[in-house]
A and B are shown apart, each in its own frame.
Chain A
Amino acid sequence: MKKGIILLVLMLLALAAYGCSTTSDDETFDGNINIYTRDTSSGTRDGFMRGIGFPEASGNDAVLASGFATQNNLGIMNAMTVDEYGIGYVSLASVNDTIKALFFEGVEPTEENVINDSYGLKRPFVFMTRAEDDWASEEIKQIADAFVAFLESLDGSDVIADQGAVPLPSSYRWNDVAADHPICAQDNSALTLRFGGSDSITRIAEALSDAFSPRCGNVVTVNDHTGSSDAFKRTQGDEKDGVNAKEIGYSSRPFRNEELETDPETRGQLAWDAIVAIVHKDNPVNSLTAAQLRDIYAGDITRWSELLED
């Protein structure tokens, strides 16, 4: 009994000592770079890998440097608060002061720089509606049209900006075009508009729905978000007539392949999202280029000292 307890205490102490061991001050900051990435289905990963000129790594883990860790958004943020030699990437909306956000090609990741197009590491948030002649009813189609007009208006941009994404420039107020959508003057509380697609922009989508509803006859909106690939599938793809069919689908990565064979009139972009490479706060590196990031993720640069030489 006693022995067991002593053994235990010793083990716990050892654990604690290991946990508390601190690394010496980094006069010369050096260590193996620990790479963190999102999984291959992530829109953030797709945007990041394309942005740094490493598109083959978007859907393929095999081309990444060995020893990378796959984490979700939260996992990467948490890792950067403890792993001094780590590097990862998150969406600009997630960045806070517990980690260090790196400049990309010398440009600071800020909303202004995304809007004026000087910050290059970004991905689009896009949407897709049902095909021209494939609506449950004429009213639903008109309401969906009105919704698209709303999200492209200044009012829609405000909602998007408020949720941390960077909306496309807009030139008109909803009230200026409301007259073009007479359906919105009626009581639409018996009609339902179904939204789906990307789960990483749920909040933006819900905010848009909530703001739109009172402007269009209190139409009922349902936001059911399951993943970017469902944006196409459930509006114009295999599942468009299935039980989970949607009127409008959102995607947090650009449409591709078969998704692009749809009528361009049914697709649009609602916002940009900046992707930011992040490191631990004590990391002296401030800025990286696309080529450097590519080399890090491809395993051609493995130590931080290689990045600090110049």
Chain B
Amino acid sequence: MYKKRNMLDGLAKGFTYLGALTATFFLGIILYFIMANGLGRFNLALLTSDYHAQYFNGRPLRFEACETCERPDDLSDDILYAPQYGLGLSDTRDRGGNTVIQVTYMHPDSPLHNLVNTNNLNQPVTIAIDTVITRISYTDHPTSLTRRGAASMISDLESGATIYEVSFSTVGGGIRGSLITTLILIGLTLAMVMPLGIATAIYLCELAPINRVTSTLRSLIETLTGVPSIIYGLLGISVFVPLTIRLNLTRGPSLIAGAMTLTVILLPVVIRTTEEALKTIPKDYRLASLALGANTTQTVGKVVLPNAIPGIMTAVFLAIGRIIGESAALIFVLGTAVKDQVRIQENSTSLAVHIWSMMTDEPANIELSSTIALLILIVVLILNIGVKLTVHQLKRKTG
């Protein structure tokens, strides 16, 4: 009898262990995948630099080869060198992981120091160290392109062909714009959703009469939690975007419209979570407050809300997580264009949508996508720790 009991208990326990282990296993795999793919690209420069490279087109002023530009002895072996032009090139990758050819050495006598802007022949332009050479076209030779590599570009240069034009750019591929957009979205959305959500929750929990209308309202809100976010995206594009245009705030999809859409997506979540928090506060608190002569508003403001702050913070966590992770709705309402100069009345792209557009491109950029995923994890972690610390401080103050 006991044996059977023990066995059944053991089995049940085993299942819980198995469940927990499987979950941990898969989460671990995801984390490992993101780390393995994304860590390599993760650096501060990626987060702080522009996505769009600044392009220049220059022509050499004189065409004769440089005679004094011999390869310096101390030049590293992995720099490929064209003595005729005094130019040292290397195959590297830009911030986004795309292969580029970068200028890693320039001889002081290099003729490429003196170029004129093709579009405005009076304006000098200069190739500097770290500039990316995107192409070199010749009058009598096929163009050298990035994808054929630095070695091929050097041999083209050394073939004696006459340079027609050099196109070069700054290093691009950074994700500063998408990061800023995401942070602004979080701020804007929280500023709208928290007051609305908390007010609704207070109404439902503290003030609303307990009758059929209230309970219907409550179950309707619960239903909204399950609506796919793409539906909210449609709402955003057909209501909020035209609304913001009508109000003369924007001229198309924008961060404002994006934040409004996210607000609607998040309202049910925030209401639900806040309401749960309010419910956990003992009824005695309220009764005590009322007995001391405080009215309902004072009770809610001075007794109920301060005690519900940890629960409300949970709502903030959930909201932040959802804002960062949302992509489907934002593709319409915010757009997929990666911006460097973010303005709230213009379109832009969040980190999650940035991942989406890189993964739909051919070939997909898995590395940078993983890096962004890693960044998202870090941002969520930092924000969560920050909010937790604030709550801790608040609790201390209020005792």
| Chain A residues proximal to chain B, CB less than 8 Å | 1, 3-5, 7-8, 11, 44, 72-74, 77, 90-91, 93-94, 154-155, 158-159, 161-164, 173, 175, 178, 184-185, 199-203, 206, 210-211, 213-215, 222-226, 243-245
Contacts and interface: CB of A to CB of B under 8 A. Distances in A.
Interface stretch (B140-148, B196-204, B377-385): B140-148
Contact of B361 (A4, A173, A200, A215): A200
Contacts of B207: none
14 contacts: A4-B14, A11-B18, A72-B360, A74-B359, A74-B366, A91-B363, A155-B167, A158-B143, A162-B134, A214-B55, A214-B56, A214-B57, A224-B337, A244-B252
Interface in B105-155: 118-119, 134-135, 137, 143, 145-147
Interface of A is mostly: helix
Contacts of B17: 4-5, 8
A215 B52 contact: no
Contacts of A91: 362-363
Counting chain B CB atoms within 10 Å of each CB, the highest count among A72, A210, A214, A243 belongs to A243
B363 A94 contact: yes
A4 B56 contact: no
A157 to B, nearest CB: 9
A70 B169 CA distance: 39
A178 B119 contact: yes
B362 A222 contact: no
Interface stretch (B237-245, B286-294, B388-396): B237-245
Counting chain B CB atoms within 10 Å of each CB, the highest count among A163, A164, A206 belongs to A206
Contact of A3 (B14, B54, B57, B253): B14
Contacts of A201: 361-362
Interface in B1-46: 10, 13-14, 17-18, 21
B337 A223 contact: yes
B10 to A, nearest CB: 5
A284 B53 CA distance: 44
Contacts, number: 120
Nearest to A211: B55
B237 to A, nearest CB: 7
B331 A90 contact: no
Contacts of A162: 134-135, 145-147
B335 interface: yes
B220 interface: no
Contacts of A164: 147
A213 B364 CA distance: 25
Given A4-B13, A8-B14, A244-B252, A155 B137 contact: yes
Nearest to B119: A215
Given A4-B17, A243-B253, A161 B145 contact: yes
Interface of B: 10, 13-14, 17-18, 21, 52-57, 118-119, 134-135, 137, 143, 145-147, 164-165, 167, 169, 172, 237, 241-242, 245, 252-253, 331-332, 335-339, 347, 357, 359-364, 366
A107 to B, nearest CB: 21
Contacts of B245: 243
A94 B237 contact: no
A4 B362 contact: no
Counting chain B CB atoms within 10 Å of each CB, the highest count among A44, A77, A175 belongs to A175
A199 B21 contact: no
Given A73-B363, A243-B237, 7 more contacts: A8-B18, A8-B21, A44-B362, A74-B366, A158-B145, A162-B147, A244-B237
B346 to A, nearest CB: 9
B395 to A, nearest CB: 37
Contacts of B53: 210
A223 B252 CA distance: 14
Nearest to B346: A222
A263 B57 CA distance: 34
A215 B362 CA distance: 27
Contacts of A184: 119
B84 to A, nearest CB: 22
A243 B242 contact: yes
A44 B363 CA distance: 12
A1 B13 contact: yes
Nearest to B143: A158
Counting chain A CB atoms within 10 Å of each CB, the highest count among B118, B119, B242, B339 belongs to B119
Contacts of B147: 161-164
A159 B135 CA distance: 8
A215 B363 contact: no
* Shortest beta-carbon contacts, A-B, top 9: A4-B14, A94-B363, A224-B337, A199-B360, A200-B362, A162-B145, A4-B17, A222-B337, A202-B361
Nearest to B146: A162
